[in-house]
Structure 1
Amino acid sequence: MDWLTFIAYLTKSLVWPIVVIVGIVVFRQPITTLVVSVKRLRYKDLEIELVAPEEATEQETSAIVSYLQRSPHSFQWFRENTDFQYTDADFEKLISKYPQMLEKITIVSRDETKRKTEPGRPGMRLTQDAKEKIKDALAIRRT
């Protein structure tokens, strides 16, 4: 085998992987959109249904607001004391979805028995405007 035959054979072997890699790089956005839009996969007897995580519904948002009317809470508090099993990222998405109503804060708690302050935990509270709107709505409702 001379060197020209070797290079021709090597090129023939490497062309299709290079074309695939270049195609993935060039069409990565349409491929990503296509993969995300797939809801169900079937192969012979195997069927997999893919479900995207749902965003918070209006009822869930209302429940979160009712908890926050009393006082600010950490994301951890919501996971431990309610049915909301959101990740911190899910709570942050909720805050970014409703910036006029919710704001992110850091909750620092103090344990008086141990005289120790726990490091800050991410949390949220109602914005001042949201508190005033709720207060006004409750005042109108009572009259």
Structure 2
Amino acid sequence: MKKAKIETPLGIAELTGDSDGLSSVKVLDEGIISAEIPSELKETALQLEAYFKGTLQNFDLKLNLQGTDFQKKVWKKLLEIPYGSTTSYLQLSRDLGDEKAIRAVASANGKNPLWIIVPCHRVIGSDGSLTGYAGGLHRKKWLLDMENPPVQQSLF
């Protein structure tokens, strides 16, 4: 597995992957930026940079998801949440066919290894609250605000 660390507005992103695809993107509070990015991770770095600049809404990367079958099913469903939109843990459970699996869905969501790429930050509480995010709720709020900025209202 190759690794690289890149700077983002939310901290250092540690990218991990190989020729089989991207397997992990983690956010770190500190770290040393990689002087060179392995070829297997260059496209990820470019797309993350474009995402943070606001010029990319949908990632197009080869993913190598590592997890249980159920986790992979949840993560693939997360990929269907459009940029600038949110869904609830309850709705995600319903979409997966089992409303009672809400805790398992939330757990799988929390174990998502591909920060931002698989947009777990777009899942919120049924009441609209920002609940749970491995990268910290301040990062979740920042991402949601970036993807869906408030509309400036005219005074006239």
Question: Greater helix share, 1 or 2?
Answer: 1
* Structure (1 or 2) with the larger CA radius of gyration: 1
Verify same fold: TM over 0.5.
Answer: no
**TM-score normalized with structure 1 length:** 0.30
